[in-house]
Amino acid sequence: MKLSTDFTLSKFLNTEKLTAYYELTKPGITLTVLASMLIGFILGSGSSIDYILMLHAAFGTWMIAGGTAAHNQFLEWRFDRRMKRTQKRPVPSSKISPRQSVLFSLGLIFAGLIYLMFVVNYVAAIVSLLTTLIYLGVYTPMKRVSVVNVFIGAIPGALPPVGGWAAATGHLGSTAMWILFAIVFLWQVPHVMAIAWVCKDDYSNAGFRMLPRNDSSGFKATALILPCLLALLPICYGLFYVGMNSWLYLAGALISSIIFLFYGLIFSINRDKASAKKLMFASFGYLPAIWAFVILDLLLL
């Protein structure tokens, strides 16, 4: 009996297995979600930040975000197997079975929801639940139907700062909060479209429709990307306009938005994989830069 227990414990604590479960939560994306949530929490808190509540909100959000990412991989593991960029993920590479992934993902999601509901507040829990439902129930299946999925997916992707604001205040009635939502929403469209252009053959092989149909020239993709990049300029100005941040944030946000727009214009002119890759890397740096200027502004001024 002791041997059996030791064997089971050893199997559970297997480093390779634990690493695979960690990979299943998509740590990079989960970290981005947490950063956006914390920005919403900090701005929603104003001059008085409850750091204990912030930690609780971060823990609950991490569980739901990680669980949602893991369940997405369960739903798409057969398609991930067809793509070079995803075939080494834990489920398609057989590091974790589909059954293990679904139990793990649903466990994290429900634990996170219960935690937010009882430790933070019900508004934050509802925002997180809505995020998960749209992401898994609408965006994930829509990826194989229409490029509209990019805009649908941008909704749950932009809700983390809303959840952070709700965690700090218990309500959703703020203009500044919806400006944060708009910044993340508008950032995601060129971000996802650039990645889709770089990986378009991979996506096509897996049956995903991440780019407009019959758009080998890239004109349709450009028509989706440029309006979002242009709209980021007045939207970023919005936080300054409503008094949430000062000139330091405004200067940094506008410069970052102009640089992002510059690479979007390069893509619109060349419409090739090289320019799409430049836009993709610009998108990787854009949101962290905006959040960094928000924090610097609060710390220094």
* pLDDT tens digit sequence for 143-176: 999 999 999 999 999 999 999 999 999 999 999 9
pTM greater than 0.95 (yes/no):
no
Read off the pLDDT of residues 89-129 as tens digits, 9 standing for 90 and up.
999 999 999 999 999 999 999 999 999 999 999 999 999 99
**14, pLDDT greater than 80:** no
CB atoms within 10 A of CB 254: 16
User: What pLDDT score does 170 carry?
Assistant: 96
Distance, CA of 298 to CA of 62 (rounded, Å): 24
Read off the pLDDT of residues 132-149 as tens digits, 9 standing for 90 and up.
999 999 999 999 999 999
User: What pLDDT score does 8 carry?
Assistant: 54
Q: Mean pLDDT across the chain, nearest whole number? A: 93
User: What pLDDT score does 273 carry?
Assistant: 93
- CATH second-level architecture of 174-301? Up-down Bundle (1.20)
Give me the sign of the Cα torsion angle 62, 179, 250, 286: positive
Distance, CA of 64 to CA of 284 (rounded, Å): 23
Distance, CA of 289 to CA of 257 (rounded, Å): 10
User: What pLDDT score does 213 carry?
Assistant: 85
Mean predicted confidence (pLDDT) in 245-257 = 97
Q: Which residue has the higher pLDDT, 119 or 11?
A: 119
Read off the pLDDT band of 84 (50, 70, 90): confident
**58, pLDDT greater than 60:** yes
User: What pLDDT score does 10 carry?
Assistant: 52
User: Which residue carries 């897996």 as its tokens?
Assistant: 206
Burial tier of 260 (Cβ tally within 10 Å: 0-12, 13-18, 19+): buried
User: What pLDDT score does 34 carry?
Assistant: 97
| Torsions phi, psi for 94 (to 5 deg) | 65, 20
Check: CB of residue 272 under 8 Å from CB of residue 194. Answer: no
User: What pLDDT score does 85 carry?
Assistant: 84
| Per-domain boundaries in the chain | 22-171, 174-301
Read off the pLDDT band of 1 (50, 70, 90): very low
Instruction: Locate the DSSP E strands across 146-213.
Output: none
CB atoms within 10 A of CB 55: 10
- Pull the structure tokens for residue 166: 């709700």
User: Which residue carries 């960094």 as its tokens?
Assistant: 292
Is 22-171 CATH 1.10.357.140? yes
Kindly state the percentage of the chain with pLDDT values over 90: 83
SS3 assignment, position 25: coil
